[in-house]
């Protein structure tokens, strides 16, 4: 036999030996999926059993929006009732106080929480997409924002803050539907106080007025389409400001992303003390890039209010952006 062939044979035999004698150790799926993987049909005991020891939680779950979804007898047994989230009852009852045998959303790390919720919510997002978010990377869990057990009359854990004058009807709708811990502005503001404060500036997107919410711009659950972005891009501004976004025959480079920050080159998205949410309301706004335009170039007002470059976003008629 040719020595190269013999070498190849030995190499292959070695790998076959490795594969047969060392079965993959990683076959256990991560907690809490391992509970479901090891369960037999009879390990699911149904929620009547749970009530004998956890009456309060059975009652609070009954009145939550989720109850209607997971009670259907048409669902497979492992996606029905309490056990759909907390895992098969029999395994839990083998050793009630063992945290490895029941899914506790309060005690489990945030990755396990996401794993439990995403067993069913694959249309909202996949685990790989969730893991890329800044929230997942900082240990924020689905249950930092969502509260699953809550009766209608229970107070929300996150009280409305001064920023929000959220219309009561809109708020209660989203609490109920999305099972959030607070109205969708106060919820985010409790952790993002710096950004929330920007909405108190003289000029701001109308969140305090209850006409918008943070997630109109920020994708909390990035899916395939929005990819890994949690920051909004031009496209998301364009959904509401098509006039500013174009397309134009003569596009202004920064508006179409030619310089990187798109709309953010000139605007502060949350709020600003300048009209039109501008970074500065002076020629300085334009001079940050057009350094070649000396101060003698039409001194006076701003480059756009002086009646010159009025089509700041782009023009269909004039490459110098002087007419729309």
Q: Binders of ligand HEC among 28-67, rule CB under 6 A? A: 45, 47, 49-50, 52-54, 57-58, 61, 66
- By CB under 6 A, residue 312 contacts ligand HEC: yes
Closest CA to 170 of 145, 178, 162: 178
Which residue from 142, 171, 175, 208 is in contact with ligand HEC, where contact means CB under 6 A? 142
What separation in angstroms does the CA of 27 have from each of 100, 128, 178? 17, 19, 35
Written as six digits, the tokens of 191 are: 């952790």
Q: Which of residues 190-229 bind ligand HEC (CB under 6 A)?
A: 190-192, 195-196, 199, 205-207, 211-212, 214-218, 220-221
Task: Pick between residue 17 and residue 63 the one whose CB is nearest to ligand HEC.
Answer: 63
HSE of 162, CA atoms in CB hemisphere, 13 A: 4
Whether the CB-CB separation of 80 and 44 falls below 8 Å is answered with yes
Which residue from 32, 36, 39, 81 is in contact with ligand HEC, where contact means CB under 6 A? 81
Task: Pick between residue 31 and residue 105 the one whose CB is nearest to ligand HEC.
Answer: 105
- Binding string, residues 271-310; x marks residues near ligand HEC by CB under 6 A: -----xxx------xx-xxx------------xx----x-
Q: How far apart are the first and last CA of the chain?
A: 80
- By CB under 6 A, residue 171 contacts ligand HEC: no
Whether the CB-CB separation of 102 and 86 falls below 8 Å is answered with yes
CA distance 228 to 284: 34
- By CB under 6 A, residue 130 contacts ligand HEC: yes
- Residues in contact with ligand HEC, counted by CB under 6 A, come to a total of 119
- By CB under 6 A, residue 112 contacts ligand HEC: no
What separation in angstroms does the CA of 82 have from each of 51, 75, 77, 179, 227? 10, 13, 11, 17, 32
- Only one of the segments 13-21, 22-30, 32-40, 176-184 lies at the binding site for ligand HEC (rule: CB under 6 A); that segment is 176-184
Task: Pick between residue 18 and residue 243 the one whose CB is nearest to ligand HEC.
Answer: 243
């Amino acid at each position: 036999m040719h020595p190269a062939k013999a070498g190849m044979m030995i190499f292959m035999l070695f790998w076959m030996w490795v594969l047969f004698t060392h079965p993959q150790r990683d076959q256990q799926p991560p907690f809490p999926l391992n509970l479901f993987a090891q369960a037999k049909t009879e390990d699911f005991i149904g929620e009547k059993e749970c009530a004998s020891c956890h009456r309060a939680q059975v009652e609070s779950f009954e009145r939550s929006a989720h109850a209607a979804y997971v009670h259907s007898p048409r669902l497979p047994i492992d996606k029905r009732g309490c056990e759909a989230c907390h895992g098969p009852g029999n395994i839990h009852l083998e050793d009630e106080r063992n945290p490895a045998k029941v899914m506790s959303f309060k005690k489990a790390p945030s990755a396990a929480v996401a794993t439990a919720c995403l067993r069913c919510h694959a249309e909202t997002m996949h685990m790989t997409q969730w893991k890329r978010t800044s929230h997942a990377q900082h240990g924020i869990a689905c249950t930092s924002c969502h509260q699953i057990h809550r009766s209608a009359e229970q107070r929300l854990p996150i009280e409305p803050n001064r920023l929000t004058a959220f219309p009561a009807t809109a708020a209660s709708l989203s609490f109920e539907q999305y099972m959030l811990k607070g109205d969708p502005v106060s919820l985010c503001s409790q952790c993002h106080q710096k950004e929330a404060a920007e909405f108190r500036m003289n000029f701001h997107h109308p969140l305090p007025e209850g006409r918008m919410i943070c997630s109109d711009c920020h994708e909390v659950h990035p899916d395939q389409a929005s990819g890994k972005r949690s920051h909004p891009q031009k496209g998301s501004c364009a959904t509401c400001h098509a006039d500013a976004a174009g397309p134009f025959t003569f596009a202004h480079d920064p508006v179409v992303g030619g310089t990187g920050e798109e709309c953010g080159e000139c605007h502060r998205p949350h709020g600003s003390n300048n009209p039109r949410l501008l970074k500065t309301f002076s020629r300085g706004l334009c001079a940050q890039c057009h350094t070649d335009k000396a101060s003698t170039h039409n001194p006076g007002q701003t480059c756009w209010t002086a009646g010159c470059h009025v089509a700041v976003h782009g023009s269909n008629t004039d490459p110098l952006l002087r007419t729309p």
